[in-house]
A = this chain, B = another copy of it.
Amino acid sequence: MPNLDVAFSALADPTRRAILARLALGEATVMEIAEPFDMTQPAVSRHLKVLEGAGLIVRRVEGTKRPCRLAPAAITEVDQWLDMLRQALAKNYDRLDDVLAGMKPKKRKVRR
């Protein structure tokens, strides 16, 4: 699933997550998005391209502006994949918890 590669890589960058957080508040143009960052406009444009390529945002054309919004596509896919881990973790929860606490699986109730 190269889609997941792209989606997770996109999410791995703090600038891009900040952009997504900004867009969670509502649509914004490239300049509006770039403003709070200590970074040039081309750098932000590239981040947006990555986010778009990952299916995390979509862009409209509005005159000379390109307002961006969150898109559901990638997040849905990511969520579906993560579900596997969530389920596995839920299943193993008790034993896993013991292991994390650094004790033998059965028979111990007292914490250290």
Interface residues of chain A, those whose CB is within 8 Å of chain B, are 1-2, 4-5, 8-9, 11-14, 17, 20-21, 23-26, 58, 60, 69-72, 75, 78-79, 81-82, 84-89, 92-93, 96, 99-100
Contact = CB atoms under 8 A, between A and B. Distances in A.
A70 B82 contact: no
A60 B99 contact: yes
B24 A88 contact: yes
Q: Is the interface of A mostly helix, strand, loop or mixed?
A: helix
A75 B70 contact: no
A60 B100 CA distance: 9
A70 B58 contact: no
Nearest to A96: B69
